[in-house]
Amino acid sequence: MALTCLGSLVALPAATATGQERARFDTKLFAKIPAPGFPASAYLHPDSRVYEGTYDNPAGDPRPSRVFEFTNRGSLTRSWTIGGQTLDGPHGVQVAASDADGDLVLLDKSPARVLKLDRATGVQSIYATFPEAALPNFAAWGPDGSLYLSDYAHAVLWRVPPGGGVAIPWLRSPVLEGGGFGATGLRLLADQRTLLVAMQSQGGGTNGNPTTGRLYKVAINPDGSAGAPVQFWESGPLEGPDGFAVATSGNVYITLLLTNQLAVVSPQGQTVERFPSAPLSGENGGPVPFDGPSNAVFDGQRLLVAQQSFLAGTAANQVIQDVFVGETGLPELVPPASADDPPVPEPEPLEICRTRRTITLPRLPEGVRYRSAAAKVPGDRVRKVTLRGGRSRKATVDVSKAKDARIRVTVRVRRTDRRTRTFSRVLRVCS
């Protein structure tokens, strides 16, 4: 059965959206992650933008975590700094999901909490807290709008009720005890009634070799309770399985943090491929070797693989990789807004006026000029954006808005050297 599955994998198509041929496991650099670095989990938003948080630096770092936004081609467009973190100890944030409004769902390490980030305004709000010590690691939506979370440090899976609030211990089991290296990746499977959860080790000594990791299936019962964990797969010793992605074929692509590899697990729970075939070196044929890969997410027929370089701490290796695999992933479940949400009242009539505001742009290098500009205002239409000459560094934005409103205007400019930049400014209009 494993040979049959492997043969089908090799025969997968290798054409990209641009028609260029790519070999299976062809690896390219998608994006470098700026400081504070240590990217642990790339997230592909339904609108095709890619988000990456900065996670824990084992050497310590007093800087707050950040969330970066990239285009689908790997260009950095904007970022946000996380507020309210405990900075005198280990801290980090991961982008785990998004909601029906398009807001990002973030898992914060210290303090342990689930945040939502409104991309339009930058506002961060607490979606869930924990009643006891927790280390949320990965998350997946359930069909009823519950949010399920793995816990890296404790033998528990959490469930956040629809709408948020205090997380509930959903499943406690000795097989979730990792001796400090516990539950990692978490995905909802195609039946939308089963969660697949990864264990980095069986460090609690409750289930065979403590140095090997596992994948377990956990059913979401009709009454919402958790079924008993059923082992699906076991790694080799000291491989450190971490985050993973599930293909529509049922194949599971799981990152091996300690051996710098990707493993392909068949729908029958057998390892059918490893890339690269030899462990540890991380040599993948691309410009940056694998160095602590910790999660994978499908984007078309490629995987976006985040890697932390957790052990070495090499900043040049803290990147998102683009790994072509020739098959597509399961679509992410994003529950619709709850029908129980209170209706939004009709707003009071507002006085609308029209205004012009000028935004100062950064100074350009000699010989480079601004060529064109476009702007966005949440909830409104920008009527006109005018650049005052090439190097004047002024952009005039003409909008309509409610009187005395504060708005965030995002201006995207294109330069004669073909670079694009995005600037965001908060303005008061009609004052």
For 395-411, write each residue's pLDDT tens digit: 666 666 555 555 566 66
- For 286, the token pair is 């691309």
Q: Is the pLDDT of residue 5 over 50?
A: no
Distance separating alpha carbons of residues 364 and 371, to the nearest angstrom: 12
What count of residues does the chain have? Answer: 431
pLDDT value at residue 337? 74
- Between 5-9, 33-37, 222-226, the lowest mean confidence (pLDDT) is in 5-9
- Give the mean pLDDT of 10-23: 56
Give the 3-state secondary structure of residue 176: helix
> Average pLDDT, stretch 120-130?
96
Confidence of residue 178 (pLDDT cuts 50, 70, 90): very high
The reported pLDDT for the residue numbered 368 is 73
Report strand pairing: 230-237 vs 241-246. unpaired
Determine the pLDDT at residue 346: 41
Mean pLDDT of 36-48: 98
The stretch 288-301 carries a mean pLDDT of 98
Please tell me the predicted confidence (pLDDT) of residue 59. Answer: 94
Residue 379 and residue 390 in contact, taking contact as beta carbons nearer than 8 Å? no
The torsion angles phi and psi of 133, rounded to 5 degrees, stand at -55, 135
Q: Is 238 exposed, middle or buried (0-12, 13-18, 19+ CB in 10 A)?
A: middle
Note the pLDDT of residue 426: 62
Q: How far is it, in rounded angstroms, from Cα 188 to Cα 112?
A: 23
pLDDT, mean of residues 372-392: 59
Share of the chain above pLDDT 70, in %: 75
The reported pLDDT for the residue numbered 9 is: 38
Residue 128 has pLDDT above 60, yes or no: yes
pLDDT band at 10 (very low <50, low <70, confident <90, very high): very low
| pLDDT higher than threshold 90 for residue 369 | no
Whether 325 shows a pLDDT value over 60: the answer reads yes
CATH code for 2-324? Answer: 2.130.10.10
Residue 360: strand pairing partners: 394
Output the average pLDDT for the chain: 86
User: What is the spatial distance between Cα 56 and Cα 36, in angstroms, rounded to a whole number?
Assistant: 9
Question: Which of 132-146, 147-161, 341-355 shows the lowest mean pLDDT across its residues?
Answer: 341-355
In the chain, domain spans: 2-324, 352-428
pLDDT of residue 200: 97
Q: Which CATH architecture has domain 352-428?
A: Sandwich (2.60)
Residue 430 has a pLDDT of 59
Mean per-residue pLDDT for 94-106?
Answer: 97
Instruction: Please give the pLDDT value at position 381.
Output: 52
Q: Is 355's pLDDT higher than 70?
A: no
Alpha-carbon distance values, 327 to 41, 147, 240 (Å): 20, 27, 25
Higher pLDDT, 208 or 385: 208
Whether the predicted pLDDT of 231 surpasses 70: yes
Exposed/middle/buried for residue 73 (C-beta within 10 Å: 0-12, 13-18, 19+): exposed
pLDDT at 15: 46
pLDDT tens for 82-97 read 999 999 999 999 999 9
* Amino acid at the residue 31: A
Residue of 261 and 383 predicted with greater confidence: 261
User: What would the pLDDT profile of 271-287 be if each residue is shown by its tens digit?
Assistant: 999 999 999 999 999 99
* pLDDT tens string 46-81: 999 999 999 999 999 999 999 999 999 999 999 999
Task: Please report the pLDDT score of residue 101 as a whole number.
Answer: 93
| Span 197-219, pLDDT tens digits | 999 998 766 677 899 999 999 99
What pLDDT does 2 receive? 37
